[in-house]
Amino acid sequence: MGKVQNDTIILGCTHYPLLMPKILKYLPAGVRVVPQGEYVAESLKSYLERHPNIEAKCSKGAAVHYLTTENPNKFKEQAQIFLHEPVEVDNITLG
């Protein structure tokens, strides 16, 4: 039995696109990368278009404030890279 060559990988977690440059660096030429974020967003958009009663319940233009149990500066830096916008973060302790 010969060696199996993968032709496609699916990035199944939301933070994998942040690692895209490193992932691409180690992939053999010709391997297709499928980031799931675009598919999830399109699927949600389609769902909301088909269910206007649900879409009407969604808040629009609301402020977002993040809470984290890790270092808030580290979280903020990573979140801003991922979201491409400034974020407000506070540290919390659970328990």
pLDDT tens digits for 8-37?
Answer: 888 877 777 778 888 889 888 889 988 887
- Is residue 2's pLDDT more than 70? no
pLDDT value of residue 36? 80
Q: What is the DSSP letter of 61?
A: S
Q: Quick one: how far is CA 14 from the chain centroid?
A: 3
**Tell me, what's the pLDDT at 89?**
93
How far is residue 91's CA from residue 65's CA, in Å, rounded to a whole number?
A: 11
pTM: 0.47
- 57 Cβ neighbours under 8 A, 6+ residues apart: none
Helix (H, G, I), strand (E, B) or coil at 28: coil
For residue range 32-90, list pLDDT tens digits in order.
988 887 788 889 999 999 999 998 888 888 888 899 999 999 999 988 887 888 999 99
List all residues 6 or more positions away from 48 whose beta carbon is below 8 Å from its beta carbon: 54, 55, 58
Residue 7 has pLDDT above 60, yes or no: yes
Q: Name the DSSP class of 11.
A: E
